[in-house]
């Protein structure tokens, strides 16, 4: 080792599958998991003479993605053919966008390891079509092609080389995923291939501003592979530079099992794809009326919502970030806070008990066994002092397993907390009489003794005494004024 | 290898064509003529003409996101030279 410190420079190309019902240029369904070659027609299988027509919703989703990521929208855009031969592409070209992508020059903010906010610039977002799926035929008897994926609409989100670590790349992808889910244009399920990523990576001496020669590792579909690629490619390139061997610009394939990259092909130049405007597709003009219509679908985004949660509900920053990390969870919180009329208690129960329950049951918040209204009601009982904290947990668990309302649980199991002063005074008097030593300790200035006495009251009342009131009454009875 | 040779092979490679040595000379000459012809367009001075993306003055030919029936698997595979398990079978590429 020469002792030079190196810096990794990472740019990402993220492919996100749009959740339209139909493909981008034909009416075939996009649904995942269908029988092979049953979602195909002459358009998506590239039959000569078939005419593609652009899915309006796919265009709107792309524009929405641009608006959500601070992009400039190209009001005049077009589709181009990207020509290359590979058997997963029956037309021998992919319809994509070359020089007039729908969105350009955006940015996203991520949080770095040190907790700072960092801007990741987006070069562009364009609309394109997916290719088919190739698998090995049994006994090495060839490859098998399923064309159901051909023509499924994708967004390609291209960043500038602004990331410096696997952690930053991960933050960026999580942020993209969160935004796409918020604007409801993709479910970004990596395991189903609806979010994939190419990693462009180069290394350079930490002191240098010039970019090194980069490689592009294709088609990564898990955070784990992306992290491993970044680590292994960084190490490989640093080793080459240390040996004085230049890095060769190439497209790489990642072998998850071997944990290494191999050269897929030497890098093509853009001109090798012989891009040209698709003569079968008319250009797209997003006029003011259409633009305003698309804009009206733009919901409050995660960042803005997080800030509002801190301001409006006075939540701690970390709780606000956690609650707004998922649009459905944020909706849940707002509904529960409204019913309960108690922003902080609702926050406390959702970030604690509710998330624990969801994790335990392995369900998403949308499938929560306890709805936000029911949780809100439970919180009302707690805040009114009708039930104690430990009783509330008991009620919560019963709600989770039976779906009963908190009111009926509290009634049918006579869980109501004793908040009646008359009743509590009686119990307090008994406890004072039976524990002269603790009373003496308390009167001698040992404040802690009150805790023991409250405990005794809880015991006497079988846990039903309101502990706060019990303490107050004990103090009053022992300090006759 | 001359520049033209390299260039021809590169284009042939992109098009996945095998070119016989006898054809090379003719092809290099033909391609040169085609390029020369195309270059005449670049030589035109037409600053007033907007960049055109389509041969006809149309835009926004769009469809709603409504499913239409796909073809049957049988019909889709009818043109395939070989098939297996509902897929098109092709020479090994992966
Ligand atoms: Zn189709």
- Alpha helix (H) residue ranges in B1-94: 3-14, 21-43, 73-77
**Chain-chain contact of B70 with A29 (C-beta, under 8 angstroms):** yes
A461-468 average pLDDT score? 79
Residues of B with Cβ-Cβ distance to A279 under 8 angstroms: 54-55
pLDDT of A176 strictly over 80? yes
Contact (CB<8Å) A134/B94: yes
Structural domain that includes position A278? 6-293
Residue B2 has pLDDT above 80, yes or no: no
Residues 15-74 of A with CB under 8 A from B: 20-22, 26-29, 35-42, 45, 47, 53-59
Span from the CA of A40 to the centroid of ligand 1 (angstroms):
4
Residues from chain A that touch B79, judged by Cβ atoms under 8 A, are 47
* A242-277 per-residue burial string, b: 16 or more CB within 10 A, e: under 16: eeeeebeebbbebeeeeeebeeeeeeeeeeebebeb
Asked if the C-beta of A285 comes within 8 angstroms of chain B's C-beta atoms, the answer is yes
The top-scoring range by mean pLDDT among A145-159, A168-182, A266-280, A419-433 is A145-159
**In which residue are the tokens 């061997």 written?**
A245
pLDDT of residue B35: 86
Residue A66 domain flag: yes
Cα A97 to averaged position of ligand 1 atoms, centre (Å): 20
| pLDDT average, residue stretch A359-374 | 92
Name which residue leads in pLDDT, A427 or A153.
A153
- A252/A317 same-domain check: no
CA of residue A186 to ligand 1 center, whole Å: 20
Q: Which CATH number belongs to the domain containing residue A465 in this structure?
A: 1.10.10.410
- Say how many Å lie between the CA of residue A28 and the centre of ligand 1: 4
Provide the angle, in degrees to the nearest 10, between the axes of the packed helices A166-182 and A223-242.
Answer: 150
Say which residue the tokens 């500038």 belong to.
Answer: A160
Tell me which H or E stretch contains A476.
helix A467-478
A44, A107: one domain = yes
Q: Specify the range with the lowest mean pLDDT, choosing from A91-95, A136-140, A385-389.
A: A385-389
pTM, entire model = 0.81
The highest-confidence range among A188-197, A258-267, A463-472, by mean pLDDT, is: A188-197
Strands A250-255 and A215-220, by their bridges, are: parallel
Alpha-carbon gap: A55 to the closest alpha carbon of chain B (Å): 5
ipTM > 0.95? no
The tens digit of pLDDT for each residue in A375-423 reads 999 999 888 877 877 788 889 999 998 888 888 888 777 666 777 778 8
CB pairs under 8 A between A and B: 136
A170 and A204 fall within a common domain: yes
Predicted pLDDT at B76? 96
Angle (nearest 5°) at CA A323 between A319 and A324? 120
Helix, strand, or coil (residue A126)? strand
Q: Place A355 in a pLDDT band, splitting at 50, 70 and 90.
A: very high
Predicted confidence band at A2 (pLDDT cuts at 50, 70, 90)?
A: low
Based on the fold, state whether residues A204 and A255 are members of the same structural domain: yes
User: Do A340 and A346 form a contact (C-beta atoms < 8 A)?
Assistant: yes
**Whether A20 and B65 lie within 8 Å, measured CB to CB:** yes
Contact B60 A285 (CB under 8 A): yes
Task: Identify whether residues A383 and A428 lie together within a single domain.
Answer: no
- Domain count across chain A: 3
What are the φ and ψ backbone dihedral angles of A127, each rounded to 5 degrees?
-95, 135
Q: Is the pLDDT of residue A276 over 80?
A: yes
Q: Is the pLDDT of residue A198 over 60?
A: yes
pLDDT in tens, B24-77: 889 999 988 988 898 898 888 888 887 778 888 899 999 999 999 999 999 999
Domain shared by A183 and A318, yes or no: no
- Output the CA–CA distances (angstroms, integers) from residue A449 to A103, A212, A429, in the order listed: 68, 70, 16
Answer with the one of A276, A293, A310 that is the final residue of a domain. A293
**How much is the pLDDT for A19?**
95
The verdict on A365 and A405 lying in the same domain is yes
- Domain match, A231 and A339 both: no
- Boundary of a domain, candidates A231, A266, A293: A293
pLDDT of A415: 67
Share of chain A above pLDDT 70, in %: 98
Kindly indicate the confidence band of residue A311, based on its pLDDT and cuts at 50, 70 and 90. Answer: very high
Predicted local confidence at residue A402, as pLDDT: 87
A3 Ramachandran zone, left/alpha/beta (phi>0; psi -120 to 50):
left
Say what the pLDDT of residue A319 is: 94
Are residues A120 and A217 located together in one domain of the fold? yes
If asked whether residues A118 and A231 sit together in one domain, one would say: yes
Mutate one of B18, B51, B76 to test the A interface: name it (highest A CB count within 10 A).
Answer: B76
The answer to whether residue A1 is domain-embedded is no
Contact residues, B window 20-79, toward A, CB-based 8 Å cutoff:
53-55, 58-73, 76-77, 79
> Shortest Cα distance from B45 to chain A (angstroms)?
21
- Chain A residues touching B7 at Cβ < 8 A: none
Between the CA of A170 and the centroid of ligand 1 the distance, in Å, is 34
φ, ψ of residue A110 to 5 degrees: the values are -125, 165
Structure-model confidence comparison of residues A232 and A388, the more confident one: A232
HEC-encoded secondary structure of A421-473: HHHHHHHHHHHHHHCHHHHHHHHCCCCCHHHHHHHHHHHHCCCCECHHHHHHH
User: Which residues, chain by chain, have CB under 5 Å from ion ligand 1?
Assistant: A 26, 28, 41, 43-44
Instruction: Choose the closest CB to A53 out of B15, B62, B72.
Output: B62
Secondary structure of residue B84 in the 3-state scheme? strand
Residue A33, helix vs strand vs coil? coil
CB contact under 8 A, B53 and A277: yes
**Domains of chain B with bracketed CATH:** 3-42 (1.10.20)
Residues A274 and A215 in one domain: yes
What is the pLDDT, as a whole number, of residue A162? 96
User: A246, A84, A226: which is closest to A165 by C-alpha?
Assistant: A226
Mean pLDDT for all residues in chain A: 91
Nearest C-alpha neighbor of A71 from the set A157, A184, A170, A171:
A157
Contact B94 A29 (CB under 8 A): no
B81 touching A (Cβ < 8 Å): no
């Amino acid at each position: 080792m020469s002792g030079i410190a190196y810096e990794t420079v990472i740019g990402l190309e993220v492919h996100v599958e749009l959740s339209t019902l139909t493909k981008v240029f034909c009416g075939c369904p996009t649904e995942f998991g269908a029988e092979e070659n049953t979602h195909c027609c002459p358009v998506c299988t590239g039959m000569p003479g078939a005419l593609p027509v652009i899915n309006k919703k796919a265009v709107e989703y792309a524009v929405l993605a641009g608006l959500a990521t601070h992009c400039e929208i190209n009001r005049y855009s077009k589709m181009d053919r990207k020509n290359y031969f590979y058997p997963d592409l029956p037309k021998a070209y992919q319809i994509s966008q070359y020089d007039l992508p729908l969105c350009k020059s955006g940015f996203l903010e991520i949080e770095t390891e040190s907790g700072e906010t960092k801007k990741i610039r987006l070069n562009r977002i364009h609309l394109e079509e997916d290719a088919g799926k190739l698998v090995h035929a049994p006994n090495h008897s060839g490859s098998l092609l399923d064309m159901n994926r051909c023509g499924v609409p994708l967004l390609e989100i291209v960043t500038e080389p602004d990331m410096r670590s696997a952690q930053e790349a991960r933050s960026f992808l999580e942020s993209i995923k969160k935004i796409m889910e918020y604007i409801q244009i993709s479910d970004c399920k990596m395991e189903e291939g609806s979010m994939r990523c190419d990693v462009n990576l180069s290394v350079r001496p930490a002191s240098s501003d010039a970019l090194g020669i980069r490689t592009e590792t294709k088609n990564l579909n898990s955070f784990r592979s992306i992290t491993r690629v970044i680590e292994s490619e960084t190490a490989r390139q640093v080793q080459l530079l240390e040996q004085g061997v230049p890095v060769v610009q190439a497209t790489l394939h990642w072998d998850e099992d071997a944990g290494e990259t191999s050269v897929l092909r030497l890098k093509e130049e853009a001109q090798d794809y012989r891009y040209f405007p698709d003569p079968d597709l008319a250009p797209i003009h997003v006029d003011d009326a259409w633009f305003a219509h698309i804009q009206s679908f733009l919901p409050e985004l995660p960042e803005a919502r997080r800030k509002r949660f801190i301001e409006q509900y006075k939540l701690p920053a970390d709780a606000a970030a956690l609650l707004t990390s998922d649009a459905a969870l944020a909706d849940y919180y707002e509904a529960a806070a409204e019913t309960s009329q108690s922003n902080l208690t609702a926050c406390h129960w959702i970030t604690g008990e509710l998330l624990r329950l969801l994790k335990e049951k392995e369900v998403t918040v949308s499938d929560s066994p306890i709805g936000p209204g029911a949780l809100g009601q439970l919180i009302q009982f707690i805040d009114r002092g009708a039930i104690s904290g430990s009783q509330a947990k008991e009620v919560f668990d019963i709600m989770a397993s039976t779906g009963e309302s908190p009111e009926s649980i509290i009634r049918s199991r006579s869980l109501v907390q004793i908040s009646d002063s008359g009743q509590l005074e009686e119990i307090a008097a008994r406890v004072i009489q039976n524990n002269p030593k603790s009373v003496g300790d308390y009167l001698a200035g040992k404040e802690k003794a009150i805790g023991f006495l409250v405990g005794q009251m809880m015991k006497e009342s079988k846990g039903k005494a309101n502990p706060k009131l019990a303490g107050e009454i004990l103090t009053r009875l022992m300090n006759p004024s | 290898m001359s520049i033209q040779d390299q260039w021809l092979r590169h284009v042939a490679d992109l098009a996945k064509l095998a070119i016989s040595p006898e054809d090379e000379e003719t092809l290099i000459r033909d391609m040169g003529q085609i390029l020369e012809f195309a270059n005449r367009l670049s030589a035109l001075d037409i600053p007033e003409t907007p960049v055109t993306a389509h041969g006809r003055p149309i835009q926004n030919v769009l469809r709603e996101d409504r499913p239409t029936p796909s073809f049957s698997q049988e019909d889709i595979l009818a043109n395939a030279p070989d098939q297996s398990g509902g897929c098109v079978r092709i020479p090994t590429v992966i």
